[in-house]
Amino acid sequence: MKQTDIRKEFGLRVQFFRKECGLTQAELAEKIDRTEDTVSNIERGISSTRIETAARIAEVLKISLPDLFDLPLPTRRNREKSDLIKELVAISLDQDLPLLKAFLEHIKNLSEIHS
């Protein structure tokens, strides 16, 4: 992938997650201590950004830094599935092994029913 393609993909991800958070470019710029033009240039793939700025963007957009760089751009449905999986994992961490095995069997049975 060419450098300009990487910048464009990154910019599209910033724009996608910014809109998911309901922020304008000006609001994001203020929160990361940059100008609106800087955010616009990042989103359009015209400018790249330092890792420190990318980390601030990720923090403001409430996503992990790896998620900000993860290609391709997620769909809303994939994002919802990912969020549900993370929630299931978080719940599962506190459970004992027999309960986890029963839970797994239940999920397998449900997936067979809905296939």
Instruction: Tell me: do 48 and 95 sit in the same domain.
Output: no
Instruction: Give the global pTM.
Output: 0.61
Q: How many domains does the chain have?
A: 2
How open is the CA angle 90-92-94, to the nearest 5 degrees?
90
Instruction: Tell me: do 48 and 19 sit in the same domain.
Output: yes
Instruction: Tell me: do 81 and 100 sit in the same domain.
Output: yes
CA distance 47 to 70: 18
Q: pLDDT 10s digit of each residue in the chain, 115 long?
A: 555 588 888 998 899 899 989 999 999 999 999 999 999 999 999 998 999 999 999 999 999 888 888 755 556 666 777 777 778 877 888 889 998 899 889 888 888 887 6
- Note down the domain range covering 94: 76-113
Instruction: Tell me: do 36 and 14 sit in the same domain.
Output: yes
Instruction: Tell me: do 64 and 81 sit in the same domain.
Output: no
